[in-house]
Amino acid sequence: MSPGATFERVYHELKRMLAEGELPPGSPIEPALIGQRIAASITPIRDALHRLTGERLVEAPNHNGFRVPQLTEAALRDLYDWNAQLLRPATRHIRPGSGERVVSAAVAEEKDVATATANLFIEIARATGSAEHVRAIQQLNDRLAPFRRLEAVVLKCLDEEYRSLVSAILAAEGPDLRRRLASYHRRRLGEVPALLAVASP
């Protein structure tokens, strides 16, 4: 396998481990142990960890090793609130007839409600035609992924909530979609302490 291909494999595997909670918040990341788990040498692991540090998915406090960030309540609220602020103006770009494209693109690789919702938000951002808007939502998706995975433990009726968002997009009803997105984010902001509690090792 080429060095570039090895790096990409390691990078995506580390992202998966972070998203799925295999590396819990606050835990140190030992490159040697990771190497044993995913059959990779130290160099591509360190390179991937440096990239993930730049993406704020990993921390390197005082350049003394790597660890998984442990968010405070205020920090997690900021992430959910920023997600809401980015999505709200994007909804104004969903026009009659474009909703089906947004939804069909989002559900093409649907695996679970957390993944489907993340994909849906990407497609809402894509409707703006702005690559920067898409990148910003993707980065938020990555940082919120471990918490979206745990939302099912804390919140009820996630499938129904997701379907209500899809219905509003298909109807191209901007005000209704914005109300539903506001409700989506309010529910999570209200459960930030519970989400952090179940995320803790």
Task: Quote the radius of gyration of the chain (alpha carbons, Å).
Answer: 18
Residue from 97, 105, 95, 100 nearest 128 by CA: 95
- DSSP one-letter string for 52-99: HHHTTSSB-GGGS-EE-----HHHHHHHHHHHHHHHHHHGGG--TTTH
Say whether domain 73-199 belongs to CATH 1.20.120.
yes
Residue 66: φ, ψ to 5°: -120, 150
Beta bridge partners, 59, equal: 67
| Average confidence score pLDDT of the chain | 89
List, for residues 127-138, the tens digit of each pLDDT value.
888 999 999 999
List, for residues 30-44, the tens digit of each pLDDT value.
999 999 999 999 999
Residue 52, C-beta contacts closer than 8 angstroms, at least 6 positions apart: 11, 14, 15, 18, 58
- pLDDT of res. 28: 93
Residue 137 identity (one-letter amino acid) = I
Q: Indicate the domain borders of the chain.
A: 3-67, 73-199
7 Cα distance to chain centroid:
21
Instruction: Give strand ranges (E) for the chain.
Output: 28-29, 66-67
Answer yes or no: is pLDDT of 6 > 70.
Answer: yes
Q: Domain 3-67: which topology?
A: Arc Repressor Mutant, subunit A (1.10.10)
As a whole number, mean pLDDT of residues 123-146 equals 93
Q: CA–CA distance from 153 to each of 18, 46, 102, 114, 142 (Å)?
A: 18, 33, 28, 12, 19
Tokens of 169: 């997009």
Report the share of the chain in percent with pLDDT over 90.
Answer: 67
Q: CA–CA distance from 60 to each of 45, 104, 131, 137, 146 (Å)?
A: 14, 39, 28, 24, 19
The pTM score is 0.88
Q: How confident is the model at residue 170 (pLDDT cuts 50, 70, 90)?
A: confident
Residue from 123, 152, 138 nearest 57 by CA: 138
Q: CA–CA distance from 145 to each of 32, 76, 79, 118 (Å)?
A: 25, 12, 11, 8
Answer yes or no: is pLDDT of 23 > 70.
Answer: yes
- pLDDT of res. 196: 94
